C-alpha cells in the first residue's frame, strides 16, 4: 500500500495516476496537512503537495489543491533529507488535475 494511503486513508484521491510518475517519491507523513512527493530536477529538489479534493477538508481552505515548491536537501543524493526553508518558492499552484498532469508530463519528458 502506498505511503500516502497509509497516512491519509485508502480513499484519498490524488487526481492523477501516481504509477505514471515513478520518479515522484512519496514522503507523506500524517503530521503534515496533506500527502507530499519529492522529485529531483536539473535545478534541485522540489516537493508536490496534494491536498484534499474538497476545500472544506483542507486545513487551509484558500490554498490550492496542488502546490509544487522548491526545497532544500540537507542529506545526500543517495539519502535525501528534503525540507522547505525561507528560500523555498512556489513553482505551481492549481486546483486543476489536468494542469498538474501537463506539468508532470513536461517534467517526465525531461527525465
The per-type count for the chain, helices as H runs and strands as E runs, is 2, 7
Q: Considering the entire predicted model, what is its pTM? A: 0.92
Higher-confidence residue of 61 and 103: namely 103
pLDDT digits (tens, 9 = 90+) for 10-59: 999 999 999 999 999 999 998 999 999 999 998 899 999 999 999 999 99
DSSP β-bridge partners for residue 92: 68
Contacts of 17 (CB under 8 A, 6+ apart): none
Residue (of 19, 31, 24, 80) closest to 47 by Cα position: 24
* pLDDT higher than 90, residue 103: yes
Cβ–Cβ < 8 Å for 20, 36: no
Higher-confidence residue of 85 and 26: namely 26
Contacts of 110 (CB under 8 A, 6+ apart): 41, 42
pLDDT digits (tens, 9 = 90+) for 69-84: 999 999 998 899 999 8
Amino acid at each position: 500500500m502506498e505511503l500516502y494511503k497509509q497516512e491519509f486513508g485508502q480513499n484519498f484521491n490524488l487526481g492523477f495516476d501516481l504509477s505514471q510518475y515513478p520518479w515522484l517519491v512519496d514522503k507523506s507523513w500524517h503530521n503534515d496537512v496533506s500527502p507530499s512527493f519529492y522529485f529531483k530536477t536539473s535545478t534541485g529538489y522540489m516537493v508536490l503537495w496534494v491536498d484534499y479534493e474538497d476545500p472544506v477538508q483542507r486545513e487551509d481552505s484558500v490554498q490550492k489543491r496542488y502546490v509544487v515548491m522548491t526545497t532544500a536537501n540537507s542529506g545526500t543524493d543517495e539519502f535525501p533529507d528534503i525540507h522547505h526553508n525561507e528560500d523555498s518558492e512556489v513553482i505551481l499552484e492549481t486546483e486543476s488535475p489536468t494542469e498538474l498532469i501537463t506539468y508532470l508530463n513536461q517534467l517526465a519528458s525531461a527525465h
